[in-house]
Amino acid sequence: MQVEIKLEEIGFGLTEAVLIGWLSDVGDIVFQEQPILELCCDKEIFCLFSPADGIIQEIIFRAGETATTDDILGIIETDLELFKP
C-alpha cells in the first residue's frame, strides 16, 4: 500500500514551506515517526516525520522547492514486496 507524505497544516496561519532537504532517499527503509525531511517556513526550521513504516518509493518535491499545505511531498510503499524503484 502506498502512503502519501503530505505537508499537513503548519499552524499560525502559515500555508507554505521551503524544502531544505530529505534525510532519507528513494529505497531507504523508514519507520513511523522517524524524521525524513527538513522544511523551513518564516525563518523556522522543522522536521516532517514519516507517517508509516516502509520504503521511500518516490520523492516529488526537491530541496529548494516551495510546498503548500496538503501538497504530496513523496510516497512510502508499506508492502516491501511491491517496492519498485
pLDDT in tens, 49-81: 999 999 999 999 999 999 999 999 999 999 977
- Predicted local confidence at residue 49, as pLDDT: 95
Q: Quick check: 11 pLDDT over 80? A: no
At 76, list the grid cell.
512510502
Residue 12 pLDDT exceeds 80? no
**Rg over CA atoms, the chain:** 12
Residue 34: is its pLDDT beyond 90?
A: yes
Give the span between the Cα atoms of 17 and 59, in whole angstroms: 16
**Model pTM?**
0.87
Dihedral through CA 32, CA 36, CA 42, CA 44, nearest 10? 80
Say what the pLDDT of residue 84 is.
Answer: 63
Cα separation, 76 vs 74, whole angstroms: 7
